[in-house]
Amino acid sequence: MILYSDRDDHYSQRVRIVLAEKDITAEINEAKAEETPDEILSISPYHKLPILVDRDLAIHDPSVMMEYLDERFPHPPLLPVYPVARANSRTLMLRIDREWCPLLDILIEGKKTEKELMKIREELLHEISSIALTFKEFKFFMSDEFTIVDCCFAPILWRLKSVGINLPVNRHLKPLIDYQNSIFERPGFLDSLSSIERDLKSD
């Protein structure tokens, strides 16, 4: 099994977290897309990383990769067993992908005016802050167990400071900050980090 992974991409990191959490033996080839040979990029119709190759199977969508790894290596499970809970997890992943990731991607790209970027920072901070109180009820993202949803959310939290967002330390956000700190201390999360990502740490 080989994961062709962008060394500082949050979509790639979420797959690396799954590999680390499940202690899956895989070769991880880290590079930027522009450094990756065309014969590898051509596996994906979008010519983008990450790309997971397992024998004759090649997967180019990070969400499909995570679910494939969870099914192929079922212990520990990262998706709930029951259908309703699994559907809820997939719905949360979809929200992250459709609503939060595009905002983060714009901030990372940094090609808009500072005024536009400031507005996007405020929007992303508002979106993330809106779920803070759920962490008073649940240890993880809408769950008492670490799941694939946390694998998607953690790389976003890790990159906030690098895109100019600081989570205010206040009573409202304390449950979210406590969650963030516990996630950042997980061995699986730490093992997933590339050398570049370690420099993004937001204390």
The token pair at 6 is 């962008």
Query: What does pLDDT average to over the chain?
Result: 93
Higher pLDDT residue, 153 or 201? 153
> Residue 178 pLDDT > 80, yes or no?
yes
Residue 201 — very low, low, confident or very high, per pLDDT cuts 50/70/90? low
Domains in the chain and their CATH numbers?
2-72 (3.40.30.10), 83-187 (1.20.1050.10)
Residues 6+ apart with CB under 8 A from 61: none
> Residue 131 pLDDT > 50, yes or no?
yes
Q: What's residue 27's pLDDT?
A: 94
Other C-beta atoms within 10 Å of 112: how many? 13
Residue 1 — very low, low, confident or very high, per pLDDT cuts 50/70/90? very high
Using CA atoms, how far apart are residues 118 and 196, in angstroms rounded to an integer? 24
**60 contacts 51 by C-beta, under 8 angstroms:** yes
Other C-beta atoms within 10 Å of 94: how many? 12
Percent of the chain predicted with pLDDT > 70: 99
**Global confidence as pTM:** 0.93
> Residue 200 pLDDT > 60, yes or no?
yes
pLDDT digits (tens, 9 = 90+) for 2-48: 999 998 899 999 999 999 999 999 999 988 777 888 888 888 888 88
